[in-house]
Structure 1
Amino acid sequence: MMRIAVDDVSVTLSGRSILSGVHLVAGEGEIAGLIGPNGSGKSTLLRTVYRHLKPTSGRVLLADRDVRELAPAEAARHLAALPQERGSDFEFTVREVVAMGRSPYQRAFAGESTQDRAAVADALAQVGLAGHERRSFAALSGGERQRVLLARAFAQQPDVLVLDEPTNHLDVQHQVELLALLRAQRRTTLISLHDLNAAASLCDRLHVLHRGEVVASGGPRDVLTPELLAEVFGVRAAVVDHPLTGDPLIAFDHRSPVGTAPLP
């Protein structure tokens, strides 16, 4: 496992500032959540972390090494990403898509090794798709495709996972199973989530992005306050203890916009 840190990163696209002076970290074996309203810069930040975008200034450090100084294959052995932009028309089987995660370990023109085959089988089992290897990726539902792409990232056996809204398209059962799997793996993970209660349950640390800047960082109970939820997300909410797990649970007021009544 490795630590990943975003060090004073700014990103400007088409003359518009998207991120400004962002600092955040996911420690070794830590699940760090990235939350914020739509348009706050979460996906841009994650694309910068996994080298799809080059920062205008600042660095992304993987165990104190700038990720942009790593060769592509070396970077891929250490860091796997599940972006939001996900192809849905692959003319491949489920197994072929998952096996793509092994490419950083393979020599040119070399066939699969025993280790490759074991990693692919294990990844499919982890996402509940063992026995589905021959199905066409293009014919899968959105949730099934999501699980296949997660399996591809797991097959890569990285030190760091970067996941952009991985629970999109998953039904409730598979959302719960995925979050439990990430928690059990204890792999260094940087993950963006829209579901704040899922973030509160899963993450060791939360970073809140608002208008391209990190406005709060810390444990879920310290970050997810009624005041921050009102200021950043524009919602009226109370934060209580989850009756089953004891995690912070956000109870949203769906009747009153922010400012119409005092918080209890």
Structure 2
Amino acid sequence: MRIDIEDLRVAYAGRTVVADAHLIAAEGEITGLVGPNGSGKSTLLRTVYRHLKPAAGRVLLDGSDIRELSPARSARHIAALPQERGGDFELTLREVVAMGRTPYKRAFAGEDAADRDIVERSLADVGMGDHADRHFTELSGGERQRVLLARAFAQQTDVLVLDEPTNHLDVRHQVELLALLRGRRRTTLVSLHDLNAAASVCDRLHVLHEGRVVASGTPREVLRPPLLAEVFGVRAAVVEHPLTGDPLIAFDHRELCNPAIFPDTSGNSLRDLPDF
């Protein structure tokens, strides 16, 4: 399944947070949203998993407006890992992950053998299979993150919507998570702060700045020094990763960058970047 976002506008208290956003998350691809804090990434994702209702525009799931789907049907197709992780659950990890099976159950129906197998495999996928009987309240922030991701996996949806899934994870678990997403080949829409992680895992990137999509394309096409200077205000060089061949961004941590004195040597402006 694919996600199409068409002319989306989202507003809070009369203030537009996302304006005229148009982007695609293609079937089976990992599509990344990158941009500074406050650029509208989380707001856009919340409209995809129906937490927010747009002021204008629409989100399509294989051509159907998600607002016209029932909540249960939507939950069978789209699983979300929000940035707001919710409160403490007085539940075991197995019970938390089993919540992901709710869209498939009738009221008051208990879990069956197939549900239990899915829950166990989802916990194993995130490296928490040996801790299923621990309580969620006992976990560190990174461990909680992995369990909530397992809950999304247990939902067995066509589409994953992940808001900063690598938050609180150490380097090893970040690498494992990104490899897991790549291996699953689900339609995935993910926001990431780490631009090098985005360059490594994403097939396509959409750059948000002040609520607008200002660039779209492959990581190699989008992550260029002029864009990094204009959108993020940093001086950086983009080189080839010596191990993977992916774009690797080396930041100058000694000073911020004034984009006016950091020209695009390709001759293109930010607005000339390809839009897919």
Would you say the 8 A contact 2:207–2:215 is kept in 1?
yes
Distance of 2:51 and 2:156 partners within structure 1: 20
Match of 1:163 in 2: 162
Q: Deviations over 1:41-88 (max 9, x none)?
A: 001000011000000000000010111111111000000000011024
Structure 1 position 131, deviation (Å): 1.7
SS at match of 1:256: strand
Distance of 1:198 and 1:131 partners within structure 2: 28
Match of 1:175 in 2: 174
SS at match of 1:131: helix
Letter aligned with residue 71 of structure 1: S
Structure 1 position 105, deviation (Å): 0.5
Distance of 1:94 and 1:107 partners within structure 2: 22
Structure 1 position 108, deviation (Å): 1.4
SS at match of 1:229: helix
Match of 2:145 in 1: 146
Would you say the 8 A contact 1:34–1:193 is kept in 2?
yes
> Aligned runs of 1:42-57 on 2, under 5 Å?
42-57=41-56
Match of 1:112 in 2: 111
SS at match of 1:254: strand
SS at match of 1:236: strand
Structure 1 position 89, deviation (Å): 1.1
Match of 1:240 in 2: 239
Distance of 2:262 and 2:222 partners within structure 1: 20
Would you say the 8 A contact 2:58–2:65 is kept in 1?
yes
Distance of 2:243 and 2:214 partners within structure 1: 30
Letter aligned with residue 23 of structure 2: L
Match of 2:224 in 1: 225
Letter aligned with residue 117 of structure 1: R
| Bigger Cα displacement from structure 2, 107-116 vs 176-185 | 107-116
Distance of 1:4 and 1:92 partners within structure 2: 33
Would you say the 8 A contact 1:11–1:20 is kept in 2?
yes
Do residues 78 (structure 1) and 101 (structure 2) align?
no
Match of 2:274 in 1: none
Letter aligned with residue 203 of structure 1: C
Would you say the 8 A contact 1:88–1:137 is kept in 2?
no
SS at match of 1:249: strand
Moved over 4 A (4+): 260-264
Do residues 255 (structure 1) and 254 (structure 2) align?
yes
Would you say the 8 A contact 1:33–1:205 is kept in 2?
yes
Distance of 2:258 and 2:40 partners within structure 1: 26
Do residues 95 (structure 1) and 125 (structure 2) align?
no
Distance of 1:133 and 1:184 partners within structure 2: 23
Match of 1:128 in 2: 127
SS at match of 2:83: coil
Q: Structure 2: which 5+ runs fail to align?
A: 266-276
Would you say the 8 A contact 1:34–1:191 is kept in 2?
yes
Letter aligned with residue 175 of structure 1: Q
Q: Deviations over 1:115-169 (max 9, x none)?
A: 2111101101100111211101011000000000000000000100000000000
Distance of 1:253 and 1:161 partners within structure 2: 34
Match of 2:33 in 1: 34
Would you say the 8 A contact 2:233–2:258 is kept in 1?
no
Structure 1 position 256, deviation (Å): 2.6
| Bigger Cα displacement from structure 2, 73-82 vs 115-124 | 115-124
Would you say the 8 A contact 1:88–1:145 is kept in 2?
no
Q: Deviations over 1:213-240 (max 9, x none)?
A: 0000000000001000000000000100
Q: Deviations over 1:235-262 (max 9, x none)?
A: 0001000000000000001113213976
Would you say the 8 A contact 2:226–2:262 is kept in 1?
no
Distance of 1:191 and 1:215 partners within structure 2: 17
SS at match of 1:255: strand
Match of 1:5 in 2: 4
Give the number of equivalent residue pairs: 263
Q: TM-score, normalising length from structure 2?
A: 0.93
Q: Structure 1: which 5+ runs fail to align?
A: none
Q: TM-score, normalising length from structure 1?
A: 0.97
What is the identity percentage for the equivalent residue pairs of Structure 1 and Structure 2?
Answer: 73
Structure 1 position 107, deviation (Å): 1.1
Distance of 1:55 and 1:87 partners within structure 2: 23
